[in-house]
Chain A
């Protein structure tokens, strides 16, 4: 009986060794893959970081103002053109701004861009 038990134990131990080796090997392979994925994530994060920074640069106020002035002819809106939602009339009300005196308002319509003759 003891001999059979011993044999079973040894067999179980052998199987366990094989199983542990298998798990160990799978872990090693997974670890390598994890390292690669981590490296890839780090690269992607770095790329995203660069792209976000680049976006901040190209979408910054300085660029937008320069483009708005050169391509759209826009300038700063005079404060006479500005209002708030609270000042908007309700449906059926008279316009509240109709009797508002506006002094020295100088709203300028941008000159149309010259067109190329013949096109």
Chain B
């Protein structure tokens, strides 16, 4: 009779099974680690979590903003032998306030006292050389902008905790934080941005303007290649000094832009065929509408053709053209062009346009809005509308993100209207107020604007206190770029004969910008296009 396994034999078998299971488990784990998880540990950790925000680079990959490693300095006051000497030394090296440091060291309620944030490695080394006990360096990052003031208003800044506060840092905050290792490429071309900043700042100084700004935009893709607003500030120090300003006038302010608005009035007239470029209009000494009389900024002849009305910027002629369309149609047209809406872009700044309510949009309002008074819009919003006028009549939304595809959408104007407007804008530059923007080799079209500034918190306008601007388009036969510049309260110079109108201030500024950026942007130079040389 066969006997079953004894208790000892059973225990041995169970032990053997457990051993085999344990070895099998180890084997499986080995295979898993060596074959399936190979390299994961090495990848993780190397540089991960170093920076909180992604780099910002321009359309050519040039670095515009980056997080740099810095440290926050804390001190354990109880470890200090001589608190007064420590406060002196640390205040001198870090820029902290001595009195506050001394008080904090003497009356510390927590074990650590924050001395300074975002110390650079060289300052950290100097602090280390003090040989003080109780120093703690907490790793942190600081946003650094290599191009400083040239991109300050555009890029904006972050707060000490790395949150975007203004400009693209604010508007693209989520994108910059979500994938900190992937650079965000914006539409700006740093070469163009610098030239615009350089010329706008020079013009502001020459004409002693309160502020000035400029924008370069691709009319087909909607990409903003440059945006400048001065006065500006140093984004790497974040302290406003002198006449520094962190206010971007091109996006956050609204202006009565004056005669550059005539471009929209003429576009409406050409679209609706309410006039032709060769129709003659009486100009005279004034146009009486109700109790108001519309005057010209300077003496003009008795009659002008519509083409000359735009070229010489006649308010009386433009008012007559605007009145033919009527207030309802004018409002509907401006609405379709987008100037009656807030323009939202990737910037955190925007401005709400100011214009009369529909019930108050009467005859005089129709006439004055025709030549750019009685309506205030952000310059960027106006530029978007002007782009529709010259790009074949299709809506395009300004963007600060790089995309080379055609960004034109809905057809707002007939292509024929756009063509007619381009011819008129070229005529303004060759025969009208925009002559100083006519540069050799490039056929530029454009329109000047000189608007008297409204009296703050009051009615009426300040005589001879102007906002001058120029809308430049090139090459006008197949427009690619808009250059818009604006000077707030410019003053005439000896060279301009004391005249501060746009034709003497903004137009030459735009001409200089175009002559410098056109070769960079690859716009072919036409040898047989005469004009002024850039000086």
Contact = CB atoms under 8 A, between A and B. Distances in A.
Contacts of A52: 63, 66
Interface residues of A, number: 44
Contact of A79 (B46, B146, B439): B439
Contact of A53 (B19, B42, B146, B530): B146
Given A62-B194, A83-B527, A105 B533 contact: yes
Contact of B68 (A49, A76, A86): A49
Interface string A76-119: 10111011101100000000110011111110000000000000
A103 B41 contact: no
B45 A35 contact: yes
Contacts of A57: 146-148
A119 B335 CA distance: 72
A9 B14 CA distance: 13
Contacts of A65: 194, 198
A106 B533 contact: yes
Given A42-B50, A56-B63, A78 B534 contact: yes
Nearest to A64: B194
Q: Which of B26, B146, B198, B535 has the most CB of A within 10 A?
A: B146
Interface string B142-170: 00101110100000000000000000000
B50 A50 contact: no
Contacts of B518: 79
Given A20-B26, A53-B68, A76-B534, A82 B190 contact: no
Contacts of A9: 16, 19
Given A50-B68, A61-B191, A86-B524, A80 B441 contact: yes
A38 B46 contact: yes
B181 to A, nearest CB: 11
B23 interface: yes
B3 to A, nearest CB: 15
Contact of A49 (B12, B66, B191, B531): B66
B519 interface: yes
A106 to B, nearest CB: 5
A60 B194 contact: yes
B265 interface: no
A103 B531 CA distance: 7
Contacts of B527: 83, 87, 96-97, 100
Contact of A84 (B46, B524, B534): B524
Given A20-B26, A38-B46, A62-B150, A79 B515 contact: yes
A13 interface: yes
Interface in A35-64: 35, 37-38, 41-42, 45-46, 49-50, 52-54, 56-57, 60-62
Interface string B221-255: 00000000000000000000000000000000000
B495 to A, nearest CB: 15
B12 to A, nearest CB: 6
Contact of A34 (B19, B42, B440): B42
Nearest to B194: A61
Nearest to A102: B440
Contacts of B19: 9, 13
B85 to A, nearest CB: 32
A43 B67 CA distance: 14
Nearest to A75: B535
B511 to A, nearest CB: 10
Contacts of A53: 63, 66, 68, 144, 146
Contacts of B519: 79, 82
B147 A82 contact: no
B442 interface: yes
Contacts of A34: 41-42, 45
A49 B442 CA distance: 41
A42 B46 contact: yes
B12 A83 contact: no
Given A50-B69, A65-B198, A82-B525, A103 B530 contact: yes
A6 interface: yes
Interface string A19-37: 0100000000001001101
Contacts of A56: 62-63, 146-147
Contacts of A104: 440, 532-533
Contacts of B147: 56-57, 60-62
A104 B511 CA distance: 15
Contacts of A100: 527-528
17 contacts: A31-B41, A45-B47, A50-B68, A52-B66, A53-B66, A54-B146, A56-B62, A56-B146, A57-B146, A61-B147, A62-B147, A76-B534, A79-B525, A83-B525, A97-B527, A100-B528, A106-B533
The 3 A-B pairs with the shortest beta carbon distances in the complex, nearest first, are A56-B146, A61-B194, A57-B146
Interface of A: 2, 6, 9, 13, 16, 20, 31, 34-35, 37-38, 41-42, 45-46, 49-50, 52-54, 56-57, 60-62, 65, 76, 78-80, 82-84, 86-87, 96-97, 100-106
Given A42-B50, A50-B121, A82-B441, 12 more contacts: A31-B41, A42-B45, A49-B69, A52-B63, A56-B62, A57-B148, A60-B190, A61-B150, A61-B198, A79-B442, A83-B527, A106-B533
